[in-house]
Amino acid sequence: MQPIETLLFEEKDVVNREFYRGIKNMIKCSVCLNIAQNPVQCDKCQQCFCSQCVKDLSHCPFNCGSHQFIPSLMCQQLLSKLIIRCECGRDKKYDLLNKELDKNNKITNEYTIKSKLHKHPVQCIRRFLQTWTCDNCKNRFYDDTPTYHCTLCDYDICYECAKNSITEGTLKTEMIQYYQSKPEILTQYSTISQLHHHPIEYNCDSCHNKFTDDIPSFRCTLCDFDLCYDYAERTSVQQNNNVQPSNNTQQIPNVQQFPNVQPNPNIQQNNNNANAQQNSNANPLKKKNIVNR
């Protein structure tokens, strides 16, 4: 990253091209013909220049007789409306980049490092009640886990990625100690609850697969035993028929409502035979009449 005094944004970096075409002649430096950086203007002819381009000049390049350059407020206002694609790949307002790049390009405190994974320095922070994802390895962490964060680009780097890519600065001792305790990495099966400090996952104790919290399950509170809906169907779990569901009671969903759960054909055949036998026993007179005929 170049210092802000020599940082140049070219026309190809502008995102809102239509707006730029309407103002480009008013924001170009009359010396280098690029977009003016830290624009100043001649106090007499009003020509716009980069502050760096006229830094060593004793008079206006247009020989208007002026020897003074002042900040160009009009050019600054027009530049503030430009959307620039930063070299990190994010789209940012020009005035935001102009204000932030210089200070963000320096190691300002012990919490800041530079990494070859990102163009800007990143600072060690903790998010409040918000999970976050490392933009390099794509692992997801919960809010208690510290991150190296770029406020300009909203870019996060976890400790494991930062320690292998650091180019300037040192990792915080507190962060090293925290990650040595092996923080839990969130998965697609993790659930965050306000009632518990750590992420929660549901594992079937029979098939040992993980499931999301929207998949129904059966649980024995006495033994801390969990059974997924598929294995409950395979092992003929019977629902309590003595309990009549009220209007406020949510009924256990049928297995057909879940396309990923395939009923066991042997169980289905056994159920059909049992139903036929039950119907036959429930109508003895009908069976007797058939025999007499």
Query: Domain boundaries in the chain?
Result: 11-99, 106-186, 201-238+255-264
How far is 36 from 25, CA to CA, in rounded Å? 11
CATH fold of 11-99: Herpes Virus-1 (3.30.40)
The phi and psi torsions of 200 (rounded to 5 degrees) equal -115, 135
pLDDT at 21: 85
Cβ proximity of 44 and 64 under 8 Å: yes
pLDDT at 213: 52
Q: Which residues of the chain have pLDDT under 50?
A: 1-7, 104, 186-199, 240-261, 264, 266-267, 285-293
pLDDT at 252: 46
Cβ proximity of 164 and 157 under 8 Å: no
pLDDT at 273: 58
pLDDT at 292: 46
pLDDT at 267: 45
Q: Residue ranges of the alpha helices (H) in the chain?
A: 17-27, 73-79, 94-104, 159-163, 173-180, 229-234, 265-282, 284-292
How far is 6 from 37, CA to CA, in rounded Å? 8
